[in-house]
């Protein structure tokens, strides 16, 4: 990990044409353990079956089976003042091998594309400052978004942030995370059909810290 790898483009895995309407807030729900093929989805989340199938297809069945899988699913009212995710430049799974697929029906994630890939200090706080500095200056790269309802694959090299929400409206956002570890922060959604096999740990205010612990 590390080196001049940051600022890469995500992979656009194409349209997944869902129109969720039920309000919800699921955070890092455990939906599948490694070595198992079938996800275990609460009834409210079964509507996202086509999106999960698209993740399986894009990632490949071997890698799908190889990883623990977690899911965020949020359909909420958003406005300039009320974001559903934390704002600011970051990478998902910084300094980890986690893979994240994101999907939204509006106000898509903003991606910073480096003209030349950059290295970042391998420290969660210093790297945030560096990303913020680089993305603010068009000399280093550009900011792009992908079409609504497209599934986008991110690894730790993709620098991105939540979009602004200038006009208040309902917004749906889904994230499917593949990890070798477990997302075990206190407060994460609990899958009552699939208990997390590790203890929960306190949630911290810091960001860009890997949400999961890599298995030893
Ligand atoms: Fe993110």
On the question of pLDDT at 8 being above 70, the answer is yes
> How far away, in angstroms, is 97 Cα from ligand 1 center?
14
> How far away, in angstroms, is 21 Cα from ligand 1 center?
23
On the question of pLDDT at 119 being above 90, the answer is yes
> How far away, in angstroms, is 80 Cα from ligand 1 center?
18
167 near 77, Cβ under 8 Å? no
pLDDT at res. 83: 83
| % of the chain exceeding 70 in pLDDT | 94
> How far away, in angstroms, is 151 Cα from ligand 1 center?
14
> How far away, in angstroms, is 89 Cα from ligand 1 center?
8
Average pLDDT over residues 43-61: 98
Band the pLDDT of 82: cuts 50, 70, 90.
confident
Band the pLDDT of 86: cuts 50, 70, 90.
confident
Instruction: Name the more confident of 2 and 68.
Output: 68
On the question of pLDDT at 1 being above 60, the answer is no
CATH architecture of 11-203: Sandwich (2.60)
Band the pLDDT of 215: cuts 50, 70, 90.
very low
> How far away, in angstroms, is 42 Cα from ligand 1 center?
24
What confidence tens digit (pLDDT) does each residue in 138-180 have? 999 999 999 999 999 999 999 999 999 999 999 999 999 999 9
- Mean pLDDT of the chain, nearest integer: 94
> How far away, in angstroms, is 68 Cα from ligand 1 center?
18
**CA–CA dist 198, 59 (Å, integer):** 25
Band the pLDDT of 204: cuts 50, 70, 90.
confident
pLDDT at res. 216: 35
**CA–CA dist 64, 33 (Å, integer):** 10
């Amino acid at each position: 990990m590390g080196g001049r790898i940051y600022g890469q483009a995500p992979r656009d895995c194409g349209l997944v044409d869902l129109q969720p309407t039920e309000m919800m807030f699921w955070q890092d729900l455990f939906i599948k353990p490694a070595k198992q093929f079938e996800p275990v989805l609460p009834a409210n989340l079964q509507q996202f079956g086509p999106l999960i199938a698209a993740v399986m297809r894009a990632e490949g069945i071997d890698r799908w089976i190889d990883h623990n899988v977690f899911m965020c699913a949020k359909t909420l009212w958003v406005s300039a003042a009320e974001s559903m995710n934390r704002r600011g430049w970051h990478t998902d799974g910084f300094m980890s091998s986690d893979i994240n697929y994101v999907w939204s029906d509006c106000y898509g994630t903003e991606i910073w594309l480096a003209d030349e890939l950059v290295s970042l200090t391998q420290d969660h706080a210093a790297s945030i400052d560096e990303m913020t500095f680089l993305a603010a200056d068009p000399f280093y790269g550009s900011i792009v978004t992908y079409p609504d309802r497209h599934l986008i694959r991110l690894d730790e090299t993709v620098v991105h942030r939540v979009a602004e929400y200038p006009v208040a409206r309902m917004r749906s956002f889904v994230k499917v995370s593949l990890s070798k570890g477990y997302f075990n922060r206190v407060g994460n959604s609990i899958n009552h059909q699939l208990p997390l096999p590790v203890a929960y740990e306190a949630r911290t205010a810091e960001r860009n810290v890997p949400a999961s612990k890599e298995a030893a």
